[in-house]
Structure 1
Amino acid sequence: MKSESPPSAMRYAWFVVALLFPVALLNYLDRQMLATMKASMVHDIPDIANKADWGFVLGCFKWTYAVLSPFGGYVADRLSRRWVITGSLFTWSLVTWWTGHVGSFHELVAARALMGLSEAFYIPAALALISEHHYGNTRSRAVGLHQTGIYLGQILGGFAGYMADSPDHGWRWAFSTCGMIGVIYAMPLLALLRDPVKSVAQAAEAKEESKGMVRGLLTNRNFILMILYFTLPGIAGWVVRDWMPEILREKFNLGQGAAGVSAILYVQIASIIGVVIGGTLADRWMKRTNRGRIFTSAIGMVLFLPALFSVGNAGTLQMAILGLIIFGLGWGFFDCNNMPILCQIVKPQWRATGYGILNLVGISCGGFGDWAFGALRDQHVSLNIIFGAFAGVALLSVFIVLMIRPVEQKAEVAPSR
């Protein structure tokens, strides 16, 4: 049995989520703006020659982010997660500001690569810190609330197309302003965020167990299955997030702003609903079986199937939006349970590194997915074929997650203050 959290510890546990909520929002706002302001950026940077070039811009962020994620997780497992989180926010915010001042394709690629490097340290550290504070039956809801910040960032990013079209602002102003907001917020975040205090014995145990960390993770059958499960649906998720504004703009003759809002707003609102329902369902289901989070996540994958077919075959904007709403609900079920499931199959001292490895594989494949999607569209491959293949991958993922078997971990105790 896990020990119950004292009221003061639980209050601070939720305060941690509140502190990280705007960081998660900025993390994905900075990313999403690039997709929704594509037309304006390509117009101002003429040496972006074709869709494959734009896919490379999208992909270079993911490849850098992915490669550095395990290192970011390892640093967070060995050092202060508080410092890793605030340092990441400060650095990527400076890069966001610089993105508003680039003048060439190669400079934009460099900025996106540096953005990937700096952001790679945040998500593994943040989710591990939340999981340390929420060690009982609030873990899926806490992670889900944090992910809601991500979805709101994507929603705001969906409106960035209007900002890019504004003669008084433009895409450069949007990047510069968001960068400055992040730099300023890093200061109070560092002052208010705290790492749980570990006993001498816990610190010594963590140091000893870190020696076999990578080998222990990569020889863990459940963790290998988790890598596959995290990666396969994520490819479709990245393509929907990065390419859907452009897909809707071209297919339904929408303006840049309307396409961005249609592609982002509905799916992210549905994702917020999905994490609330999925997180609550998973936490309650865990009281009956330790596979409750796995079953909840599998339900999310089942929702992917009709959603992806609907998006690929949509003849009207309304049908495409309906597909995106169903996709968002399924994504919420999936997203709020990835770290909680990881907590059931790896040691607490390995969680940030484990999530970093998930990012390494999942997001690097997502980067190749962005590039491949652009290349396939240049060759005029139909959307229904591409999204039909994604639906097949989602069906396979249902079977993969159901093969994961949680293992008993040493009982977690309330963090000291």
Structure 2
Amino acid sequence: MYSLLKKLASRSLLLMGAAAALLAAPAHASLQIDTENKDERHIAVCDIPDSLGRAGMAAGVMEDADQTPVVYALGGANFPQATPGAKTPEERGEKIFYSDIYKLKDGQWIKIGNMPEPVAYAAFGESPDGFVVAGGANASGHLDKVWLIHKNDGSVSNCKVTALPPLPKTVAYASCVTRNNRLYVIGGQEKPDSTAALDTVYMLDMGAKPDARQWKQMPAIPGGGRMLAAAAHSGSYLYLIGGCSLAPDAQGKPARTYLDGMMAFDETTGKWTDKKLAPVPAVIAASPSPAPARENKILLLGGDARGNGNTDAMPQQSSQIYSYDILENTWEKAGNWPVGIATAPVVVMGRDIITVSGETAPGVRTPAVVAAGLGYSFELTVVDYIVFTLVAIVLIILIVQTKTKGFKNIAIVTDPHSKPGRYAWVLVGLLWIVVMLNYFDRQLLSALYEPIVRDIPQTKSQFGMVTSVFLLIYALLSPVGGFLADRYSRRLVILGSLVVWSAVTWLTGHVHDYTTLLIARGFMGVSEACYIPAALALITDYHKGSTRSLAVGIHMSGIYAGMALAGYGGTMAEIEGWRMTFALFGLVGVAYAFVLIVFLKDPSKNPAQDIMPSEALEKTRPVNVTASSGGVLKSLLSIRSMWMLMAIVAFSGAANWFLLTWYPTLLQEKYNLSTGEAGPMATQWSSLAKYIAVIGGAIIADRWYMRNAKARALVPGIAFSIAGPLIVLALVPSIFGWGFQLPLALIVVFISTQGLAQGCMDATLMPVLRSHIDERYSATGYGILNLASAGIGAMTSFFGGWLADRGIPLTTSLALAGVLMFLGGIFFLLLPKPHDKNS
């Protein structure tokens, strides 16, 4: 043993020494534009159908009828009568504006319709319903009209265009950016002869109900108006870069002054920030926009750089790419775009940045659609080296401990009247932090949805697949994780699970395409499937009698804490970036493994060490778990109570996921709430109810249990039996069309009872399970229940949408959730008496 520890210590010191030497290396991650490797393109591109090319088109990405993303492009303007080499307005002739709407599908542009009138130089952005085009210009002047181009159903020429509320004033050459379904129209020029640029900022919330969508005026641009600026968004900030101001020249005509300044608008405060941002290294206007933001970098592609002293009457537009590091507040040159270009839209599709047509010199257009891939150059950071080192040390320690202490689980069946010793509560505290990290890491993906999708573009259905693959693997492997925790040391299973999922959390911060993100999420499901069954089994190994529900309830409250705290991951991401946020919390989990190595222990083979010494030990006996997986399953599935518990968790899981998925939408539809109002309203009160019930319900169940052997099943049974009918009652007026609906406050109270029921069940499910099965197989049994609950939950989210698509109202679906909860409560109440009152 001494020699093994000596070797371990020496290797650990070598690893730490190597890590210390590497920490001096600078951490660096850079984004690169790859214009050469066409084999890596995610999309085949071709010139737009107009051989002259167009400036001022609008473009974006939407899902097609087959759920594949396609590029949309529309409008624009050119000079079809221009003489070769035209330099003056007279030589260019009349500017023609267009109304065509195209989509790029399978490498070909397909015309799918026309705008109600020609338009160019408009603001534009994607929305849940389609593509929004606001303002712009045509031959009649500048526009205030706003249109929604609806998603195409796959046919060629049936593109539907509807009008939205107009802008408060006519606007062209504005900056535009979309964030969280909000379209911002920033600055611009009100009329063709206006000698001052606009400083106005208008916002349209496309997430609001259609009849509630109105333009809202936001705080004006500080320091005066500007037009033809590039706009971008990252985190909660909107950035405005470069552009032009206007002033009258000697003849009273508008004259441009090119700008290099940069400023940011904070959506959370609704104000422009006072932070001084680094100016662009050159004065640039009309850079392709919205400027792509990736990897905490904003890319400024080309643009009109005439303000840099170029006096050529017909200068070529810039091809220079500048990269702004948001975290470092610095600019650097990042290569060249394949063509000098301005007044062109930019779209991001997969790992490609695409410019659509545009202007190569004043009055000169190009039909080219140019795609360049995003490449990444990484050097390992300090955090990476620390994670590598700590994981290696933890694995060495676990291997040594396995050799010296063994790895088989010994199921200790003690006198159920025994009270837990002090360590039993220390254990609950240790594992509370683990389960909090478990759910924090699990929810971090959803909390950082926006920056992840920005850097790894994907459709909502693709992101849903990332979530589903985790849930599916987690569900399927939960019984396997439970079986491992029954057969082998629960301590080792918990430690292994923590280290692996923490390493996967770290790894998630290093993925750069959709496939690797999907794979990482799958591994997260594998690692986390082992934790909950093992942890609850270990806690209930130590807590036998009147504290069993309370111990489980305290532990399960860590789940709610982790889910709530995950939202603060977004705050950290705004400071450190989403990738570093994943890496740091992966590091936290690996580091915490050392605390468990020191303090976490399996029940000793001498139970007297684990309980109060005054308690009786006559019934104490260690039992080796040697049954095969088939034998364990046969033992569990031969018990009627096990099947009833599987039905209960299936019913409650379906109800829980129905409400999580569709309750906010119901509030929006029935009470005309915005997305921002409905989300918190739907979750905060239910979450509070769960917190109260998981502790309060546990205390009631434990105290009542001392007088009634069925108490731990009766508490959630009563809660579900009350909550289910209340949810149905809340929805009955809408279901039957009685012409009225209950007050919002009463709806929230009734539906929040689901949280009370869920909290009661979370605290008592493992104690109830152990009182009805062979306790040696408690972790496997809980894994099977996890499979039933999570599996049903994964299907429920889909079927809620499936029912809605077929005209089944959400009120009916959510009422079904109430019915299922009531059935779950009845099954709880009908559970037979435990096989041993005191087990």
The TM-score with structure 2 as length reference comes to 0.45
Report the counterpart of residue 238 of structure 1 in structure 2. Answer: 657
User: Match for 1:85: what amino acid?
Assistant: I
1:219 to 631, 634, 638: 638
Q: Does structure 1 retain, via aligned residues, the 8 Å contact 2:437–2:589? A: yes
Alpha-carbon deviation of 1:320? 6.2
Indicate how the Cα distance of structure 1 residues 270 and 387 shifts in structure 2: closer, same or farther if over 3 A, else same. same
Report the counterpart of residue 179 of structure 1 in structure 2. Answer: 586
Indicate how the Cα distance of structure 1 residues 377 and 211 shifts in structure 2: closer, same or farther if over 3 A, else same. closer
Q: Greater strand share, 1 or 2?
A: 2
Cα distance in 1 between the residues matched to 2:822 and 2:727:
12
In the alignment, structure 1 residue 269 sits paired with structure 2 residue 688 = yes
Alpha-carbon deviation of 1:175? 2.6
In the alignment, structure 1 residue 401 sits paired with structure 2 residue 814 = no
Q: Does structure 2 retain, via aligned residues, the 8 Å contact 1:300–1:329? A: yes
1:388 to 800, 815, 820: 815
SS at match of 1:154: helix
Alpha-carbon deviation of 1:211? 7.2
Report the counterpart of residue 64 of structure 1 in structure 2. Answer: 473
Cα distance in 2 between the residues matched to 1:5 and 1:295:
23
In the alignment, structure 1 residue 370 sits paired with structure 2 residue 781 = no
Aligned positions of 1:155-166 closer than 5 A: 155-160=564-569, 166=574
In the alignment, structure 1 residue 299 sits paired with structure 2 residue 718 = yes
Deviations 1:351-404 (A, max 9, x none): 001001111222112112233335555667532122111111112112222221
Aligned positions of 1:91-240 closer than 5 A: 91-160=500-569, 166=574, 168-198=575-605, 202-207=621-626, 212-240=631-659
Q: Does structure 1 retain, via aligned residues, the 8 Å contact 2:720–2:824? A: yes
Indicate how the Cα distance of structure 1 residues 176 and 62 shifts in structure 2: closer, same or farther if over 3 A, else same. same
Report the counterpart of residue 673 of structure 2 in structure 1. Answer: 252
In the alignment, structure 1 residue 341 sits paired with structure 2 residue 341 = no
1:15 to 426, 429, 433: 426
Q: Greater helix share, 1 or 2?
A: 1
Report the counterpart of residue 442 of structure 2 in structure 1. Answer: 31
User: Match for 1:18: what amino acid?
Assistant: G
Alpha-carbon deviation of 1:229? 0.7
Indicate how the Cα distance of structure 1 residues 108 and 237 shifts in structure 2: closer, same or farther if over 3 A, else same. farther
SS at match of 1:391: helix
More displaced 10-residue stretch of structure 1: 105-114 or 349-358: 105-114
Cα distance in 2 between the residues matched to 1:162 and 1:399:
43
Cα distance in 2 between the residues matched to 1:177 and 1:260:
28
Indicate how the Cα distance of structure 1 residues 245 and 178 shifts in structure 2: closer, same or farther if over 3 A, else same. farther
Alpha-carbon deviation of 1:326? 2.4
More displaced 10-residue stretch of structure 1: 372-381 or 170-179: 372-381
Alpha-carbon deviation of 1:67? 1.1
Report the counterpart of residue 79 of structure 1 in structure 2. Answer: 488
SS at match of 2:778: helix
Cα distance in 1 between the residues matched to 2:584 and 2:789:
30
In the alignment, structure 1 residue 54 sits paired with structure 2 residue 467 = no
Cα distance in 2 between the residues matched to 1:58 and 1:243:
17
Indicate how the Cα distance of structure 1 residues 408 and 190 shifts in structure 2: closer, same or farther if over 3 A, else same. same
Cα distance in 1 between the residues matched to 2:668 and 2:790:
25
Cα distance in 2 between the residues matched to 1:224 and 1:175:
39
User: Match for 1:94: what amino acid?
Assistant: A
Cα distance in 1 between the residues matched to 2:800 and 2:503:
30
User: Match for 1:90: what amino acid?
Assistant: V
Q: Which has the larger radius of gyration?
A: 2
User: Match for 2:776: what amino acid?
Assistant: Q
* Larger RCO (CA under 8 A, 6+ residues apart): 1
User: Match for 2:579: what amino acid?
Assistant: R
Indicate how the Cα distance of structure 1 residues 85 and 238 shifts in structure 2: closer, same or farther if over 3 A, else same. farther
SS at match of 1:337: helix
Indicate how the Cα distance of structure 1 residues 208 and 361 shifts in structure 2: closer, same or farther if over 3 A, else same. closer
Indicate how the Cα distance of structure 1 residues 375 and 98 shifts in structure 2: closer, same or farther if over 3 A, else same. farther
In the alignment, structure 1 residue 288 sits paired with structure 2 residue 699 = no
User: Match for 1:88: what amino acid?
Assistant: S
Report the counterpart of residue 455 of structure 2 in structure 1. Answer: 44
Alpha-carbon deviation of 1:150? 0.7
Alpha-carbon deviation of 1:128? 0.3
Cα distance in 1 between the residues matched to 2:499 and 2:514:
25
Cα distance in 2 between the residues matched to 1:371 and 1:346:
33
More displaced 10-residue stretch of structure 1: 357-366 or 231-240: 231-240
Cα distance in 2 between the residues matched to 1:41 and 1:380:
33
Q: Does structure 2 retain, via aligned residues, the 8 Å contact 1:308–1:327? A: no
Cα distance in 2 between the residues matched to 1:98 and 1:324:
38
> What are structure 2's unaligned runs of at least 5 residues?
1-413, 608-619, 735-740
Report the counterpart of residue 5 of structure 1 in structure 2. Answer: 418
SS at match of 2:771: helix
Indicate how the Cα distance of structure 1 residues 273 and 56 shifts in structure 2: closer, same or farther if over 3 A, else same. same
Q: Does structure 1 retain, via aligned residues, the 8 Å contact 2:701–2:715? A: yes
Deviations 1:300-332 (A, max 9, x none): 213432247658979987566545532222211
Q: Does structure 2 retain, via aligned residues, the 8 Å contact 1:158–1:265? A: no
More displaced 10-residue stretch of structure 1: 194-203 or 333-342: 194-203
Alpha-carbon deviation of 1:71? 1.0
More displaced 10-residue stretch of structure 1: 287-296 or 99-108: 99-108
SS at match of 2:818: helix
Q: Does structure 2 retain, via aligned residues, the 8 Å contact 1:83–1:190? A: no
Deviations 1:194-216 (A, max 9, x none): 10023699445543698732101
Cα distance in 1 between the residues matched to 2:471 and 2:722:
26
Alpha-carbon deviation of 1:3? 5.1
Q: Does structure 2 retain, via aligned residues, the 8 Å contact 1:64–1:113? A: yes
User: Match for 1:104: what amino acid?
Assistant: D
Alpha-carbon deviation of 1:125? 0.3
Q: Does structure 2 retain, via aligned residues, the 8 Å contact 1:233–1:393? A: yes
More displaced 10-residue stretch of structure 1: 203-212 or 381-390: 203-212
Cα distance in 1 between the residues matched to 2:826 and 2:582:
41
Alpha-carbon deviation of 1:111? 1.8
Cα distance in 1 between the residues matched to 2:531 and 2:496:
9
Q: Does structure 1 retain, via aligned residues, the 8 Å contact 2:693–2:757? A: yes
Alpha-carbon deviation of 1:107? 2.6
Percent of paired sites with the same residue? 37
Deviations 1:117-160 (A, max 9, x none): 00000000000000010001100000000011111111112454
Q: Does structure 2 retain, via aligned residues, the 8 Å contact 1:311–1:319? A: no
Report the counterpart of residue 415 of structure 1 in structure 2. Answer: none
SS at match of 1:289: coil
Aligned CA RMSD, in angstroms, stands at: 3.1
Indicate how the Cα distance of structure 1 residues 241 and 82 shifts in structure 2: closer, same or farther if over 3 A, else same. farther
Q: Does structure 1 retain, via aligned residues, the 8 Å contact 2:689–2:753? A: yes
Cα distance in 2 between the residues matched to 1:384 and 1:211:
43
Deviations 1:7-57 (A, max 9, x none): xx5211111000000111111112223334434433433232x4x433322
In the alignment, structure 1 residue 361 sits paired with structure 2 residue 783 = no
Q: Does structure 2 retain, via aligned residues, the 8 Å contact 1:152–1:268? A: no
